[in-house]
Structure 1
Amino acid sequence: MSDQPFEERILEGLDNEQRAVATTLAGPLCVLAGAGTGKTRAITHRIAYGVHTGVYKPQQVLAVTFTARAAAEMRTRLRDLGAGGVQARTFHAAALRQLQYFWPSAVGGPLPALVDHKAQLIAEAARRLRLSTDRAAIRDVAAEIEWAKVSMLMPDSYVAAAAGRAEPAGMDLTTVARIFSAYEDLKIDRNLIDFEDVLLTTVGILQEDEKVAATVRSQYRHFVVDEYQDVSPLQQRLLDLWLGDRRELCVVGDASQTIYSFTGATSRHLLNFTSRYEGAQVVRLVRDYRSTPQVVRLANTLLAARSSEVDRRAGATSWSAPLELVAQRPAGPEPVFTECTDDEAEAAEVARRIGELLASGVPASEIAILFRTNGQSEAYEQALASAGIGYQLRGGERFFARREVRDALLQLRAAARAEGEDDVPQQVRDVLSSLGYTSTAPQTSGAVREKWESLAALVGLADELSRTRESFSLRMFVAELEERAAAQHAPTVQGVTLASLHSAKGLEWDAVFLVGLSEGLMPISFADTQEAIDEERRLLYVGITRARAHLALSWSISRSPGGRATRKPSRFLDALRPAGTGGRPFRQPTARKARKAAAPAVCRVCGKALGTGSERKMGRCGDCPATYREETFEALRGWRLEEARDKDVPAFVVFTDATLIAIAEAKPQTLEELGELAGVGSAKLERYGEAVIDIISRND
C-alpha cells in the first residue's frame, strides 16, 4: 500500500491536461475533450479529488449527463474512487426527483402520472380534430412536439419559431400546432405530464418559488455537466436556475460530436461558455488513448476536409474549429475501404471479415457493425446468422428484461440471504449453473447460445467487480445488479454488436465496421442544408472514433443483386479513401440542375401563383381539383409507410404527402420524368426511383 495520501493517489496516472482538470476545483471550467481522451476519467477524478481534499461535500455535488447508462457508469467510477455520496443523474432524473419532493408544497396534491409514450394521446388529439393519421405520422408529430417543448415553445409560439423546418408527416405547421394544443389539453384533463413537462414544470417552480430555489441551491453547490454539446435550451434554463448567480460549474464537451440537433440539442452553449463566464478556465484534452494513429488520422482528416471544402464555396455556414486528436497508442492496421456490388454482398463480406477477426482472437463483444438507419440491420443479422456468428442488436430487447436474466437475479437474491464464505465469482457460478451456465460456451447457436451469453455476462461482471471492490459480497453484487437494471446499464455480452451510429455514441470496440456509406445514407437523403450535412459528417466522425484498432468502411453500388449500379460512395469518403477503391468522387449538383428541379411557380390548373411549399410541390393550388387516382396515391402511401418503418425514419423523410400527390398526378414513366418533379432530388431518385416507377406502372 502506498504511503501517499489517498487524494494524491487519485491523481496518479493522469496526464498533464487531465491533472489540470482534476485539480481545478473552482469554476467556471470548460473542458474541451475529444473522442477517446479520457474525459470521464478526468471529471470523476476531479470530483473525487475535491471530495477527498475537503473542498467538496459529496452531497453538495451534482454530476449531470445525458443517459441513464452514462450516469450509472459515472456512479460506479465515483464509488470506486471513494466518492459514492455524489449524485450522478440525467437531467430528467434529477428534475423528477426534485419535482416529486417539492410538488406537494409548491403546487399541492399528488404529482400527476408520467406519460411513458405520447402516441396514444397524440392519436386521440388528431381524432378530436378529425385528422387522419397513421403510425408513422403520429411518430413524426410526437418528435416535433418534443423538439418544440425542449426549445421552450408552446402551441401559440410554435408556428413562427418552426418556420423553415421540414413539415412533419407532410402536415403544415398550423395543423401541427392544433394537434400540439389538443394534446396538451388532453394531458391537463387527465392529470398527466410527459417527459418534457418534468423539466418544464421544475423550471416553472424554481422560477416562481424563491424558497424552493433557495433550498435546491443550498443542497447543490457544485455542478458538473458531461456531453455539454448536447444540452437543449430547456436543459440550459434548468441548469441556470440550479446555479443561480454562482459560478461553480464544470462543463465537458466536444462540438465535433454534436449529433442530436434534431432533438433540440445545440453546441452553442459550449462554444459560448467563455463569453458567458468571463475568466472561465479552458482545458483541452486532445491525447487520444482509445484509437491507433491510423484511426485518429482518418478522424482528423474527415473534420479537416469539411473546412477546406466549404471554404471554397460561397455562403459557407459557421463551423467551429475541431480539436485535432493526437494518438497515444502504438500503430495498428490501416483502415480498409471496400466497394461491393449490392447490400447482400456487402453484408456477406463484412461477416467474412468478422470471421477472420474472431479466428485471430478478437472477442465477438469487441466487434461492432454500425449503420445510419436501423432498417439496415436486417441484412447483417442474416449474414452473421448464416456464418454462425452470434450478435446482439443494440436497442433490441433490454438485457435485464430477458427471461434468463430475471431468473438469475431471483436466484442470486435468494442465495445472498444465506451467503457463505466462498468468493463472490464462484458463488455466482454455482448459482447460475442451475440455470444452464457452464464454463465453456455451447457449440450451438440460437436461443441456447443467447441464454448462455446472458449468464456469462453476469459471471464476467462478478469477476470484474470482485477485482475492483474491497470487501465485495454477494449482497453487494445483487445490489449492483438491481441498480444496473434500473438504469439499463447492461454488462458486456459476447456477440457482435449491431447498432445505429446514434446509439453507438459513448461506446467503443476493438473493431468497427462502418457500412452503407453511400450517398443517400451517409449523408442521409433528407440532409439538404449545409447544417444538416455538417451533422452527418459529425455522425460519421463519431462512428470512426468508436474503433480502437480495426476499422473497415464499406458501401454498395446497388441495392439488390442484379440491380442498377446507380449508387455513389459517400462524399465524405473523397478525402479519406485511397485511389483505386471504386466509385467516382462526389460532385455538387450544378446550378442548372438545381434550377431544373425547382418547383413551378404557378398552378398548372388555374394559372394562379402558388403560395405555400405544399402547393409548389404539387404544382397546383390546394383548392384546385386533384387529378390522381385514389388507388395510385394509396399505393404510394402504403409503400412510403413500409420504407419509413424499414429505415426507422419519419414518413415525410421518404416523401411528403404533397410530393406523393405530385407523383400520383404526373404518373412519371421514367426516372428522368420522376426527377423533374419538385421534392424528388437526386438522392431520393437514386434511392426510391425504381420502386416508385414500378408502383405507377402497376396502378396506372
Structure 2
Amino acid sequence: MAAPFKPTDEQRRVIDHPGSAFITACPGAGKTRVMVERARKLLSGRPTGRGIAFLSFTIAAVSELEDRLRREGIVETPAFPHFIGTFDAFLWQFLIAPFGVDGCVAKPRLIPDKDDCTIQPFARAQALPLECFDRETGDAIPAMIHRHGFRGKIKAHETAARKTRARFLQRGELDFADARSVALARLRDPACGAVLGPAFAARFLELIVDEAQDCNPVDLEIIAWFRAAGVPVKVICDPNQAIYGFRGGVTRELGQFAETFGADERLPMSGNFRSSGHITKGVVALRAPDMRAVIDEALGDHREEPTAIQILSYSGRGVPSTIGTKFQELVTAMGLEAQDCPIVSATRMTGANALGHPRDSGKRDLSYRLAVAVSHFHFSFELGGRKEALVAIHRIMLELGGQMGVKTYHQHLQDADVSPDAWRPRALALAQALRFSPERFATVEAWHDEARRLLAPLLPAGGQSINQRLRRIGDLDEALSVAPASGLAARTIHSVKGMEFPAICVVMSPSTAKGIVDFLTGDAAVDNEEARKIYVGASRAQRLLAIALPHTQAPRLRDLVAGTGAAIEIIKL
C-alpha cells in the first residue's frame, strides 16, 4: 500500500492557491500528484455542475493524468463536467466544432496533414508541399523551398498555394494551426467574447495548463483571455524543457507572460522525486548557462542510488550500434528490464542507428518505403511507434490502389469515412506476413516477391503492373533486417516528455553534438533547442543515465557535468 501523500511546503502552496498562478516546476517535482490534489481540494464538498479543464500538449501526459484522476476517484466516466485533453482538443471541442468556420456552411473537419498537400501549378512544374508557403501571405518561405531543391520562378506556385488554402477553408478543412487562428479570432471578437466569457466561467472552476513551455504565442494569448474572462488559470511549466520550436513554441515570450502574474502568483516547485542524486545534479549542467543557479535536491526513493552518470564515447561519422550493446550491458548489470529502458534521441533514426536498426535513407520509392514501414513496425516496442508504422503501410496500400488522388492521407480518410477499425486489421496482417527473417525469406528478393504477390490485388484495373509499382531496387537490404531480441526500444525525445524510466540513454548525433556542447559550455551565445532536448531526455532517468556522443566532445561534457558535483564516467566504445 502506497504511503499517504505528504506535500512539501512548495507543493502545498500550489495546491491551496485560490486563483491564477504561474508555476515553474523542475523535472520530477511531482506535478501530476499536485494537480490531482488541487482537483481534490477544488471539488471537495462542492455541488456538481462545474468542472475543471486539464490541458496539456501530448497524449502521453494527458493519459497519465486522466488515469491518476480516475484511480483516485476524482473524475468519473464520462468526465463531464470536466475536460481532460490536449490543448488542440479543447479548442476544437469548445471553439471550433460548435460554431464552424465563418463563411463556410460545411461542418469543420480536422485535416492534420494539410501541409503535406502537393502544390504543382502545371504538369511539368516541380511539386512542393504546402508547408513551403506562408499561411498568411502565401509567399514562398526561402529556407523551405531551398530544402526541397527548388530552382526557378515561384510565382505560379505561390498563386496555387493561396488558392489551395482558400479551398481548404471553404470546405471547412482545418489543421491545428488553422484551428488556433479561428479560435483566437472568435475570442477577440467583442460580441462573441462577451458571450463566451461568462459561459466558460460558469462551466469551469479552474483551467490547468500543464507543460506550458510548449505554448506558442497564440496559445499564450488564448490562456490570457480565459484569465481575463474570470476563469482562474494555473500555468505549469519548466522553461528549460521548451522543445517545440517547430510549432512556434516560445521561451522569451513565456518569460514575458510570467511577468503578467503578481509576485504572489508566481510559485516555484523544486525538489526532484524522480531521479538519483547524481542525475539530479548532473542534468543541471544540461540547462542553458544562465539557468543553473538552482541545483534541485533529490528527494525520492532513488535519491541514494550510487550509479554514476555514464558517457558513452563513440568514434566515426555515424551513430554506431555499439551504443545499444553497451547500454544493454549496463541495464542488465543493474537488474533492470530492457523494455523499460529506452534509447532516446532528437530523431527516431538516430536512436534506431544506436540499436542497429535498418537505416532509412529517405527514398520515396514504394518498395523501399514498404520495407522501412514493415521493419519499423517490428522494431518498435512502444504502441506509438507501431501505430505510426501501420499508418505508413496503409498509405502505401492506398497509393497502390490509386484511392487518394491529389488528397492528403487524412483528407481521404475523412471523405471516405474510414475508421481505424476498418483498415488496421489489413495493415497489421500485411506487416505480420512481411516480417523479415532468414527462416521465412532466404533473400531480399524473396521478400520482395511475396510483397508483390500480397499487394497485387490492390491495383486498379488497366493501370501499371505490380512489378512496375514495386520496382526492384539494389539497396532494399538496407531497410530490411531481423528484429532484435534485446527488448531495447528507440524513441524520440518528444515522445517521452512527461514520462520516467529506470534507465535511459540519450544519444547525440555527430551533426549536433558540438553545437550542443558549445552552447552548454558558454562558447555559443545563440539559443540551442537541441540542447534543451538533451535536457528533457536526460531528466527522464530514475537510476541510470547514459549519454552517448562523439569522442571529440565527451571530455568537454564530462568536465561540465562533474562541475555540478555529480559522479560521471566515460566509457570508450
TM over 0.5: yes
Q: Are residues 1:39 and 2:31 paired? A: yes
- Mapped partners of 2:85, 2:278: distance in 1: 35
> Is 1:211 paired with 2:195?
yes
Distance, in Å, in 1 between the alignment partners of 2:154 and 2:188 is 30
Partner residue in 2 for 1:184: 165
- Aligned-residue identity in percent: 19
Residue of structure 2 equivalent to 1:30: 22
2:94 to 91, 98, 106: 98
Shift of 1:517: 5.2
Whole-Å separation in 1 of the counterparts to 2:517 and 2:145 = 13
Instruction: Please state how far the C-alpha of 1:116 moved relative to its aligned partner.
Output: 3.2
Are 2:188 and 1:194 equivalent residues in the alignment? no
Which of structures 1 and 2 has the larger relative contact order (alpha carbons within 8 angstroms, sep 6+)? 2
Deviation for aligned residue 1:250:
0.9
Distance 1:540 1:100, change over 3 A: closer
Q: Who is 2:281 aligned against?
A: 297
Gapped regions of structure 1 (runs ≥ 5): 2-8, 308-318, 403-444, 449-493, 558-566, 584-700
SS in 1 for 2:213: helix
Q: 1:524 to 1:118 in 2, by over 3 A?
A: farther
C-alpha distance in 1 between matches for 2:524 and 2:550: 25
Q: Which deviations, in whole Å up to 9, do the C-alpha atoms of 1:185-221 show, x marking residues without a partner?
A: 2313544222222222222223332334443343234
User: Residue 363 of structure 1: which of 337, 340, 348 is its match?
Assistant: 337
Aligned to 1:543: 537
- Hey, what's the Cα distance between the residues in 2 that align with 1:70 and 1:189? 34
Q: Report if the CA contact (8 A) 2:104-2:171 is conserved.
A: no
Summarize deviations over 1:553-580 as a string: whole Å, max 9, x none: 22345xxxxxxxxx65596555136999
Instruction: Please say if residues 517 and 569 of structure 1, whose CA atoms lie closer than 8 Å, have aligned partners that are also in contact.
Output: no
Deviation at 1:179, TM superposition (A): 6.2
Structure-2 residue corresponding to 1:281: 265
Q: How far 1:302 sits from its partner (Å)? A: 3.0
Q: 1:335 to 1:262 in 2, by over 3 A?
A: same
Q: CA deviation at 1:236?
A: 1.9
Kindly state the Cα deviation for residue 71 of structure 1 after the two structures are TM-superposed.
1.6
Unaligned regions of 5+ residues in structure 2, if any?
359-377, 392-435, 440-485
Alpha carbons of 1:73 and 1:282: their partners in 2 closer, same or farther (altered >3 Å)? same
Q: Which residue of 2 aligns with 1:116?
A: 112
Equivalent residues in 2 for 1:120-519 (5 A)?
120-121=116-117, 123-124=118-119, 126-127=120-121, 131-133=125-127, 138=129, 142=131, 154-155=136-137, 169=148, 180-208=161-189, 209=192, 210-246=194-230, 248-303=232-287, 306-307=288-289, 319=290, 323-328=294-299, 329-342=303-316, 346-358=320-332, 360-382=334-356, 392=381, 395-398=384-387, 495-516=487-508, 518=510
In structure 2, relative to structure 1, the CA distance for the partners of 1:230 and 1:580 (3 Å cut) is closer
Say which SS state the counterpart of residue 532 (structure 2) adopts.
Answer: helix
Give the CA deviation at 1:30: 1.7
> Aligned letter for 2:544?
H
1:60 and 2:84 are equivalent in the alignment: no
Equivalent AA in structure 2 for residue 184 of structure 1: R
Give the letter aligned to residue 487 of structure 2: G
Please state how far the C-alpha of 1:171 moved relative to its aligned partner. Answer: 6.3
Larger Rg over CA atoms: 1
| Change over 3 Å in CA distance of 1:112–1:12 after alignment to 2 | closer
Query: Residue 342 and residue 539 in structure 1: after superposition, are their counterparts in 2 closer, same or farther (change >3 A)?
Result: same
Local SS of the residue matching 1:155: coil
Distance 1:207-1:171 versus aligned 2 partners, 3 A rule: farther
Q: Secondary structure at the match of 1:499?
A: strand
Please say if residues 309 and 544 of structure 2, whose CA atoms lie closer than 8 Å, have aligned partners that are also in contact.
yes
Contact 1:63/1:87 (8 A) holds in 2: yes
**Alignment CA distance shift 1:395-1:167 (3 Å):** farther
The answer to whether the 8 Å contact 1:103/1:110 transfers is no
Cross-structure match for 2:69: 78
Return closer, same or farther for 1:49/1:204 CA change in 2, 3 Å cut-off: same
In structure 2, distance between residues paired with 1:164 and 1:381: 32
- The 1:537–1:215 alpha-carbon spacing in structure 2 relative to 1, beyond 3 Å, is same
What's the offset of the Cα at 1:400? 12
Q: Please state how far the C-alpha of 1:178 moved relative to its aligned partner.
A: 5.3
Q: Which residue of 2 aligns with 1:553?
A: 547
The alpha carbon displacement at 1:369 in A equals 0.8
Change (3 A) 1:231 1:168: farther
Q: Is the 8 A contact 1:103 1:109 kept in 2?
A: no
TM-score calculated relative to the size of structure 1 = 0.55
Q: Deviations over 1:561-615 (max 9, x none)?
A: xxxxxx65596555136999599xxxxxxxxxxxxxxxxxxxxxxxxxxxxxxxx
* Change beyond 3 A, Cα 1:321–1:155: farther
Instruction: Give the Å deviation of 1:548.
Output: 0.8
**Which secondary structure does the structure 1 equivalent of 2:561 belong to?**
coil
CA 1:180–1:46: 2 relative to 1, 3 Å:
farther
Q: Displacement of 1:340 after TM fit?
A: 2.7
Q: Tell me the distance in 2 between the aligned counterparts of 1:37 and 1:75.
A: 18
Which whole-Å CA distance do the structure 1 matches of 2:536 and 2:292 have between them? 16
Contact 2:206-2:232 within 8 A present in 1 as well: yes
2:9 to 4, 16, 20: 16
Q: Is the 8 A contact 1:367 1:496 kept in 2?
A: yes
8 A contact 2:101–2:172 mirrored in 1:
no
8 Å contact 2:312–2:547 — kept in the other structure? yes
Higher helix share: 1
Deviates more, 1:106-115 or 1:285-294: 106-115
Cα deviations by residue, 1:247-273 (Å, 9 ceiling, x for unpaired): 611110011111112320113454234
In 2, distance between residues paired with 1:35 and 1:186?
44
CA 1:539/1:322 → structure 2, altered by over 3 Å: closer, same or farther? farther
Scaled by the length of structure 2, the TM-score of the pair is: 0.66
Please say if residues 512 and 552 of structure 1, whose CA atoms lie closer than 8 Å, have aligned partners that are also in contact. yes
CA contact (8 A) 1:22 1:49 kept: yes
Encode CA deviations 1:653-693: one digit per residue, 9 max, x unaligned. Answer: xxxxxxxxxxxxxxxxxxxxxxxxxxxxxxxxxxxxxxxxx
Equivalent position amino acid for 2:342 in 1: A
Task: Provide the secondary structure at the position in 2 that maps to 1:503.
Answer: helix
* Whole-angstrom distance in 2 between the partners of 1:227 and 1:243: 17
Contact 1:36 1:290 in 2 (8 A): yes
- Distance in 2 of aligned mates of 1:392 and 1:511: 16
The SS at the match of 1:276 is coil
Deviation of 1:337 after TM superposition, in Å, equals 1.9
Letter in 2 for 1:89: G
| Conserved 8 A contact 1:519-1:570 | no
SS in 2 for 1:46: helix
Task: Give 3-state SS (helix, strand or coil) of 2:50's partner.
Answer: helix
For 1:188 and 1:499, the matched residues in 2 are separated by 35
RMSD over aligned CA atoms reads 4.5
SS at match of 1:77: helix
CA apart distance, 1:45 = 1.2
Distance 1:519 1:572 in 2: 16
For 1:202 and 1:119, the matched residues in 2 are separated by 19
